[in-house]
Copies of this chain bind each other. A is one copy, B any other.
């Protein structure tokens, strides 16, 4: 399979004005796993598609993903991304806004480059995905201010914010390579559910991960009262005593070590880790079932291995 990093480096941005384009190159050069274009290429390969036909859409998804990170980092006041200063720190907020806008436009320029008879549908799917991600981001913001978020709402939010991009990468790759509608839907559902499993696993690892392999400090979500699968499950399943104890800790922000230990103990008592692992396994299993409806070849095997790897990852 072709080298995605190389393809991204070869993208033909404008040169001038440098203040607009340099931050785009900076944001895209910072690496990341390139999982979205990879999924599009695997889906295309599954149907014997031509790499050069799907590549513009695959790259559009990666450019779009990095656009969302750029604007999200402004909104979240995040100062570091992949080990480097974020664009709004390296330059300023206005640069991050405007260069981000241009990145979104560059993604659409790539969409215009898929085979002519596939442009309209690819564009429609891309728009649907992009709308979902903006909606997911807004729900995430809304949830921070609410204390009555239901688990189903949380699942819907992470589906929109994370999963639809993976799902659409697979669907688009399949579509351009000639997958029929049922096959596109199976690819889409596979992507949705590995995304959900991934996000739940992320919530679990933040509390139960091994600090040596996880790569960031354990308990960050607990410290900042982040509404995760674990916290929402705990709040909704706890008896009156545990609920009161949990709510007490949610009001405390200056005793982090103690808070992490205490909330984790409540989680242990309520068995929310197990509930999370079960939900994760259900989503993984549903994702794997989708693959049975697709052509069986090396590409399908790669998606199967990916789902299994995500389900057992510890970092």
A residues contacting B by CB (< 8 A) are 14, 16-17, 19-20, 71, 74-75, 94, 97-98, 100-102, 104-106, 108-109, 111-112, 116, 119-120, 123-124, 126-127, 130-131, 134-135, 137-139, 141-142
Contact = CB atoms under 8 A, between A and B. Distances in A.
Given A20-B138, A116-B120, A138-B19, A127 B108 contact: yes
B102 A131 contact: yes
How many copies of this chain are found per oligomer?
2
Contact of A134 (B20, B135, B137): B20
B75 A97 contact: yes
A134 B71 contact: no
Q: Is the interface of A mostly helix, strand, loop or mixed?
A: helix
Give 5 nearest A-B pairs by CB, closest first: A20-B138, A119-B120, A17-B138, A75-B94, A102-B134
17 contacts: A14-B131, A19-B141, A20-B134, A20-B135, A71-B97, A71-B101, A98-B134, A98-B138, A101-B101, A104-B105, A105-B131, A108-B108, A108-B126, A108-B127, A109-B131, A112-B120, A112-B127
Nearest to A145: B19
A217 B94 CA distance: 27
Nearest to A129: B105
